[in-house]
Amino acid sequence: MRLLSALPGLLVGCILLGLLLKSRGVLSMQPLSRLLFSTAWKPLKGQFGLLAFLSGTLWVTLAAMILAVPISLLTAVYLSEFAPRFLRGLAKPLIDLLAGIPSVVFGVWGVLLIVPFVARIAPLFGAYSSGYSVLAGAIVLAIMIFPTIILVSLEVFTAVSRDLRDASLALGATRWETVKHVVLRKGAQGLIAAVVLGFSRAFGETMAVLMVVGNVARLPHSLFDPAYPLPALIVNHYGEMMSIPQTESALMFSALVLLLIVFVFNFAARLILTRVERRIQ
Amino acid sequence: MNNSSHLRIRNLSISFGDQQVLKNVSLDVADRRITVIVGPSGCGKTTLLKSLNRLLDSVDDVHISGHIFVDDDDIYDPKVEVTRVRKKMGLLSQKPQVLPMSIFDNIAYGPRLHGVRNRKALAAIVERELHAAGLWDEVKDRLHAPAARLSVGQQQRLCLARGLAVEPEIILGDEPTSALDPQSSRIVEERLIALKADYTVIVVTHILRQARRIADDIAFLYLGELVEHGPASEIFAAPRDPRTRSYFSGEIS
Amino acid sequence: MGFRRRKWEERVFRVLMAASTFIVLGSLLMILGTVVIKALPALNLDMITRTPEGGFYLGKAGGIKNAILGSLYLASGATLLAVLLSLPIALYINTYSMRSKAWAVQVRFFLDVLWGVPSIVYGAFGFIVMTLLGMRASLLAGILTVALLELPIMARAMDEVIRLVPSALIDASASLGASRLQTALRVVLRQSLPGILTAMLIAFGRGIGDAASVLFTAGFTDHVPTSLTQPAATLSLAIFFQLGSPIPEVRARAYASAAVLTLIILLVSLAARALSRKLRKHIIP
């Protein structure tokens, strides 16, 4: 059984190794800097610049975070500190349900509702858009990461002792002031971890975003431009993996880059959370 | 019971869900004396204390009936603004609850909330209350260090200073020394005795020896009922109720 | 700060908070509502019991039986495989490893890492292994990949449940002379069985809904797979491939797939919740 328990470690190693080995092809063709910082994606000419895709991922993910973080934190604070008990009991299972909805279903909803919505509001901002845009991806992605940030934040708030809140209230603070000055401050590190976890989840999210974001390989310059995130690249070109040389290698390299970024953020979040947990004990 | 009552509890009954914790408690708390509430664990002492500054308001399923008058105003009157009630009372919890900020900010927290913005005024308040709590000499050089770095005994005195900074009339202590080492306990007790000259002090404790040391008046609570109360010297010398006698002799705890 | 201003600030934020909560819960209702509204006209007995005819992308007639059964086979197989791997791991790090705490910490760390791996990376890795072993896109390849996806989710959930078994209980069993294996199996398993089943359900729900991991590995087909080496259609890919079709009947199949998939996940979620409520009753504190 001890051998089996080594499986997780082995798996991590194999995944990293496998992706690395498969990336050798494209890494030997082009220097790392060109792969990461060039926008020239022309597989037939052997050019695999990933900048447009990295940029696309960043645009969509950051926009999604800007939407998701305030809404998630406000919701978590409300559920933890202000909501009547029945609402708290009702909301948690619903949020769990939201977390369980598959990516493609979010994509369907995005295509049906969000894409036309974005197309309709774009002229209000002086832009023209088919609706397939960074904004559409950001909205759908934001909703997908609500549960991640909310549920971790709720745990953080639960860890703040009732007596501490009472101490603030006893000095004549209102409930909101207690939240602002005491609860949020005490839970700040945990909340940062929640946001980082949300970011990492958003970064790796594939299908829903792919279905609404337009998949045009150019650097986006506004929220209404289409984008082409890295995971979408892997999905859309897998058909050419066998036909165009080194495409498979380039896609595996993209997967490796994605994995490493997600890994770093997850690691940081876990580190913060375990430090927070330890301090409470 | 001599001089005026600062706080009057009338027919207070509190239950959480189906469980009734306080049964029809009526008590007069005298002004500028230390009233100690004693009783075995689970008898409702902390609940009684927390009801005085309406900290039970947000507990799920709580049912409170009766009246508590502070200087003739019923604090449970629905028209009363609860933060004003709480400002009149300072609370010391069992485990020192330092706010996640510096020593200075901890004490300035209350005054800032209530409108004091002037830096010099705040500094004066901080210094004054740290003196009152007997902590000034130990922290005067590091007022802006995080309060969490203080020892437990120092933290509790910080909480005392913080509570005094909002200029309350009444100080409430919920087993304020049970988490402290003997020396810090002694200092806190000394401070409370010194403070009764200007404040009304109500302390809950399960340590009978502490009650003997600091109490002017004593109230004995058992299973949610106020069994008997009166000047400490009288009650300790000659308890009237058999339950009180059992508690003092150590048979029930 | 004047008291009125403090009250006003609290009121403003209360409104913002309520609005945010409304947005979050409202999105859920919107999504479920959209799925229901679009799928209702498309769902009928035919849809569930027939396979698509004339090609899943262009053919007009037929239903999504291929995807429903494909998904169920795949997710069930993957969950089973994942259990065979996760359960021993979770048991091991909680019982045998009591002495070498460092090992358990390491295993948990790697499980955490695996938990964060995006499903597209599992798909890519599955593809690598598939080509290495000479397999073609098939039910088996899909099962292996999704099992990898489910492993960290399941192992972590099981770990959390088994951790709750008080060590006093394990010590008591050991002191009665039971060997370590017997202790593990009898005492711990029985105590945490509902939690283990809940972990399986949670992982199943995750596995059946995922598209990125099966995209490269399970293939797609009009037929219901009759052997492990055949490609298998999945509900998630059925949505993905058929949503953009110009033919309305094909699109209807995409919506129907979305509804069936959501329904399955809803049922699994309810079952998991009901189980974990049962769990709370039977735990020895």
Q: What is the mean pLDDT of residues B225-252?
A: 87
The larger pLDDT score, comparing residue C248 to residue A19, is at A19
**Position A2 in a domain:** no
Tokens read off for A101: 């909805």
What is the chain A residue with the closest CA to C84?
A4
In this predicted structure, what is the pLDDT of residue A32?
81
- Best mutation target, C5, C12, C27, to test chain A (most A CBs within 10 A): C27
A174/B83 CB distance under 8 A: yes
A172/B113 CB distance under 8 A: yes
In this predicted structure, what is the pLDDT of residue C194?
83
Q: Which residue has the tokens 């894409």?
A: A115
With 70 as the cut, is the pLDDT of residue C171 above it?
no
Contact map slice: B 113-152 vs C, CB within 8 A: 113, 115
Contact residues on chain C for A97, CB-CB shorter than 8 A: 28, 266, 269
Of the partner residues A7, A100, A113, the one whose CB lies closest to the CB of residue C89: A7
With 70 as the cut, is the pLDDT of residue C177 above it?
no
B113/C1 CB distance under 8 A: yes
Contact residues on chain B for C1, CB-CB shorter than 8 A: 113, 115
Chains with 3+ CB–CB pairs under 8 A to A are B, C
Q: A205 CB contacts (<8 Å, ≥6 apart)?
A: A103, A141, A144, A145, A231, C118
With 70 as the cut, is the pLDDT of residue C179 above it?
no
Residue C211: which of C252, C155, C251, C254 has the closest Cα? C254
CB B175 within 8 A of CB B12: no
Contact residues on chain B for A181, CB-CB shorter than 8 A: 99, 101, 109
Query: 10 Å Cβ neighbour count for A157?
Result: 21
Contact map slice: C 2-31 vs B, CB within 8 A: 2-3, 6
Q: Among A100-109, A258-267, C115-124, C239-248, where is mean pLDDT lowest?
A: C239-248
User: What span, in angstroms and rounded, lies between the C-alpha atoms of A6 and A3?
Assistant: 5
A98/C18 CB distance under 8 A: no
Dmax over CA atoms of chain A, in Å, equals 72
Contact residues on chain C for A78, CB-CB shorter than 8 A: 14, 17-18, 20-21
Chains with 3+ CB–CB pairs under 8 A to B are A, C
Contact residues on chain A for B60, CB-CB shorter than 8 A: 85
**Position A267 in a domain:** yes
In this predicted structure, what is the pLDDT of residue C97?
53
CA distance A163 to chain C (A): 21
In this predicted structure, what is the pLDDT of residue C280?
67
Q: What is the mean pLDDT of residues B192-213?
A: 91
3-state secondary structure at position A76:
helix
With 60 as the cut, is the pLDDT of residue A185 above it?
yes
CA distance C80 to chain A (A): 16
Inform me whether the C-beta atom of residue B182 falls under 8 Å from chain C C-beta atoms: no
User: pLDDT tens for residues C73-105?
Assistant: 999 999 999 999 998 888 888 776 555 678 888
B113/A166 CB distance under 8 A: no
Of the partner residues B84, B86, B94, the one whose CB lies closest to the CB of residue A169: B86
Residue B130: which of B100, B164, B99 has the closest Cα? B164
Could you give the percent of chain C with pLDDT greater than 70? 86
C2/B83 CB distance under 8 A: no
CA distance B122 to chain C (A): 14
Inform me whether the C-beta atom of residue B58 falls under 8 Å from chain C C-beta atoms: no
Tokens read off for C235: 């509900």
C128/A251 CB distance under 8 A: no
Contact residues on chain B for C2, CB-CB shorter than 8 A: 115
Q: A236 CB contacts (<8 Å, ≥6 apart)?
A: A210, A215
* Cα separations in angstroms, B126 against B113, B151, B164, C17, C242: 14, 19, 10, 35, 70
Which domain does A264 fall in, by range? 50-280
Residue C13 host element (H or E): helix C3-39
With 70 as the cut, is the pLDDT of residue C57 above it?
no
CA distance C6 to chain B (A): 9
Q: Among A90-99, B69-78, C8-17, where is mean pLDDT lowest?
A: B69-78
Q: Mean pLDDT for chain C?
A: 84
Tokens read off for A51: 């900048």
In this predicted structure, what is the pLDDT of residue C187?
73
SS3 content of chain B, % helix, strand, coil (to 5): 35, 30, 35
CA distance C122 to chain A (A): 8
CB B88 within 8 A of CB B71: no
Q: Which residue has the tokens 């596995």?
A: C207
**E strands along B17-155, which residues?**
19-30, 34-38, 62-70, 73-74, 89-92
Residue A177: which of C159, C163, B162, B110 has the closest Cα? B110
CB burial of residue B119 (10 Å; 0-12, 13-18, 19+): exposed
Q: What is the mean pLDDT of residues B99-126?
A: 93
In this predicted structure, what is the pLDDT of residue C14?
94
Query: 10 Å Cβ neighbour count for A110?
Result: 29
Residue A234: which of A264, A257, A200, A263 has the closest Cα? A257
Contact residues on chain A for B94, CB-CB shorter than 8 A: 163
User: pLDDT tens for residues A235-272?
Assistant: 888 777 777 778 888 889 999 999 999 999 888 888 88
Q: How many helices (H) and strands (E) does chain B have?
A: 10, 10
SS3 content of chain C, % helix, strand, coil (to 5): 75, 0, 25
Q: What is the mean pLDDT of residues B139-158?
A: 91
SS (HEC) of C63-104: CCHHHHHHHHHHHHHHHHHHHHHHHHHHHHHHCHHHCCHHHH
Contact residues on chain B for A169, CB-CB shorter than 8 A: 55, 86
In this predicted structure, what is the pLDDT of residue C154?
93
Tokens read off for B64: 């409170």
A167/B93 CB distance under 8 A: yes
Tokens read off for C92: 């091991």
In this predicted structure, what is the pLDDT of residue B1?
42
CA distance C104 to chain B (A): 33
CB C146 within 8 A of CB C75: yes
B113/C6 CB distance under 8 A: yes
Inform me whether the C-beta atom of residue A177 falls under 8 Å from chain B C-beta atoms: yes
User: pLDDT tens for residues C1-27?
Assistant: 578 888 899 999 999 999 999 999 999
C3/B113 CB distance under 8 A: no
Contact residues on chain C for A104, CB-CB shorter than 8 A: 209, 211, 236-237, 239-240, 258, 261
A11/C119 CB distance under 8 A: no
With 60 as the cut, is the pLDDT of residue A182 above it?
yes
Of the partner residues A102, A200, A211, the one whose CB lies closest to the CB of residue C210: A102
* Cα separations in angstroms, B128 against B104, B164, B167, B201, B253: 12, 9, 11, 19, 39
* Cα separations in angstroms, A37 against A55, C65, C157: 10, 46, 40
First-last CA distance in chain A: 32
B113/C2 CB distance under 8 A: no
User: pLDDT tens for residues A154-166?
Assistant: 999 998 999 999 9
Of the partner residues B58, B84, B91, the one whose CB lies closest to the CB of residue A167: B91
- Beta-ladder partners of B37: B204, B219
CB burial of residue B246 (10 Å; 0-12, 13-18, 19+): middle
CB A104 within 8 A of CB C239: yes
In this predicted structure, what is the pLDDT of residue A47?
78
Q: What are the residue boundaries of the structural domains of chain B, listed by start?
A: 98-167
Q: Among A65-69, A171-175, B71-75, where is mean pLDDT lowest?
A: B71-75
Q: Which residue has the tokens 């394990």?
A: C170
- Best mutation target, A171, A181, A279, to test chain B (most B CBs within 10 A): A171
3-state secondary structure at position B203:
strand
Q: pLDDT band at residue C168, thresholds of 50, 70 and 90? A: low
With 70 as the cut, is the pLDDT of residue C181 above it?
no
User: pLDDT tens for residues A188-230?
Assistant: 989 998 999 899 889 888 899 999 998 888 888 888 989 999 9
The amino acid present at C226, given as its one-letter code, is: T
Strands B19-30 and B5-16: antiparallel
Exposure string (b/e) for B152-175, b if CB count within 10 Å is 16 or more?
ebbbbbbbbbbbbbbebbbbbbbb
Of the partner residues B81, B83, B115, the one whose CB lies closest to the CB of residue C1: B115
User: pLDDT tens for residues B20-35?
Assistant: 999 999 999 989 999 9
What is the chain B residue with the closest CA to C6?
B113
Q: What are the residue boundaries of the structural domains of chain C, listed by start?
A: 1-39, 46-282
With 50 as the cut, is the pLDDT of residue A20 above it?
yes
User: What span, in angstroms and rounded, lies between the C-alpha atoms of C193 and A114?
Assistant: 43
User: What span, in angstroms and rounded, lies between the C-alpha atoms of C276 and B97?
Assistant: 35
In this predicted structure, what is the pLDDT of residue B2?
46
- Best mutation target, A108, A157, A233, A254, to test chain C (most C CBs within 10 A): A108
What is the chain A residue with the closest CA to B52?
A170
Q: What is the mean pLDDT of residues A76-105?
A: 92
With 60 as the cut, is the pLDDT of residue A97 above it?
yes
User: What span, in angstroms and rounded, lies between the C-alpha atoms of C271 and C285?
Assistant: 24
Tokens read off for C214: 């099966």
CATH number given to C46-282: 1.10.3720.10
User: What span, in angstroms and rounded, lies between the C-alpha atoms of C127 and C144?
Assistant: 10
User: What span, in angstroms and rounded, lies between the C-alpha atoms of C154 and C148?
Assistant: 10
A146/C27 CB distance under 8 A: yes
The total number of structural domains that make up chain A:
1
User: What span, in angstroms and rounded, lies between the C-alpha atoms of A153 and A75?
Assistant: 10
- Beta-ladder partners of A47: A42
The amino acid present at C259, given as its one-letter code, is: A
Q: Among B57-61, C46-50, C270-274, where is mean pLDDT lowest?
A: C46-50
CB B35 within 8 A of CB B217: yes
**E strands along C66-214, which residues?**
none
CA C156 to chain centre: 13
